[in-house]
Amino acid sequence: MHLTNLHTHTAYCDGKYSAEDMILAAINSKFQSIGISTHGPTSFVSDWNIQADRVENYMEEITNLKEKYKNQIDVFLGMELDYIPGIGFDEMSRSLIERLDYYIGSVHYLGYFNSGIMWTVDYNLEELTQGITESFGGNARFAVESYYNVISEMAISYEPPIIGHLDLFKKNNKNNVLFDEREDWYVNAVESCLKVIKNTSCSIEINTGGIARGYTKEQYPSTFILKMIKDMEIPVVINSDAHTTEGIDCKFDEMYKLVRELGFDSLNYLTREGWAKQNI
Ligand SMILES: [Zn+2]
Ligand SMILES: [Zn+2]
């Protein structure tokens, strides 16, 4: 089996270690490839995205590491880019896409506080609740539906190679404080989004970052969504959204078991020649 992880963060953003540390951890875990996917730059101030003036250093460093370790592991130069409602990928992100081996398209930011600052769905419940109040009149359902619409729009407009943590919205929904994933409207919102993704070249990632860090009981996306993804034959990859070296293969064995149980017969992975499928 080709062991890989295409969703890893470094000290260029909110990760803890250098890209080289992450690559060494991957080699240590017997991976055949690793993708470094630092949070891409944003046009506004953010303490978890790479600073715009460090982007060239990042590109150069990963390119050098690719060469340095080429006999031990395939290193891919990636980024996790922020798709912003009303904007899409901003100009800087768009100019980076063609220079990267791949990228993960993610929706973290969903709206603007009355102060004009953007809020995210994943920071914490307090921020999310305030965001829902100020942008969606306090209606969590409207916010969730809008979130899935934004993901659909991203999938159609850009076809990112990987769609990041599809149901990230559940991260701050402990004990169903905001909504219940079993409600019809929620399932319908997810289903409509998957129908859009199905007609694109995107893969959806199975992301263990939420369970690894104790935020969620299940991986992103939840198992009932994975069943829908399998039925629609949308390709998947397994990633850990690692922010540390220890997280490089977090819960991967459980995920291989889960996808087999659900009846998936293949996983997508990236090679030097492009995307490929492997049987599982
Ligand atoms: Zn993310
Ligand atoms: Zn990430």
Q: How far is the CA of 92 from the centre of ligand 2 (A)?
A: 19
Distance 38 CA to ligand 1 centre (A): 10
Instruction: Give me the mean pLDDT over the 84-112 stretch.
Output: 98
**Side chain identity at residue 246, one-letter code:** E
Closest CA to 162 of 240, 102, 209, 221: 102
CATH architecture of the domain with range 19-279? Alpha-Beta Barrel (3.20)
| CA separation for the pair 165, 96 (Å, rounded) | 21
Q: In the chain, pLDDT over 90 holds for what percent of residues?
A: 98
pTM: 0.98
- What's the pLDDT score for residue 67? 98
Q: Checking DSSP bridges between strand 266-271 and strand 274-279, what pairing results, if any?
A: antiparallel
The DSSP call for residue 222 is: P
pLDDT digits (tens, 9 = 90+) for 154-201: 999 999 999 999 999 999 999 999 999 999 999 999 999 999 999 999
Predicted confidence (pLDDT) at residue 227 exceeds the cutoff of 90: yes
Q: Tell how far the Cα of 106 is from the centroid of ligand 1, in angstroms.
A: 6
Is the bond preceding residue 235 a cis peptide, omega within 30 degrees?
Answer: no
What are the backbone angles phi and psi of residue 183, rounded to the nearest 5°?
A: -65, 145
Q: Does pLDDT of 205 surpass 90? A: yes
Q: How far is the CA of 68 from the centre of ligand 2 (A)?
A: 25
> How many angstroms is it from 104 CA to the middle of ligand 2?
8
One-character DSSP codes across 154-210: HHHHH--SEE--TTGGGGG-GGGSS--TTSHHHHHHHHHHHHHHHTSSPEEEEE-HH
SS3 label, residue 75: strand
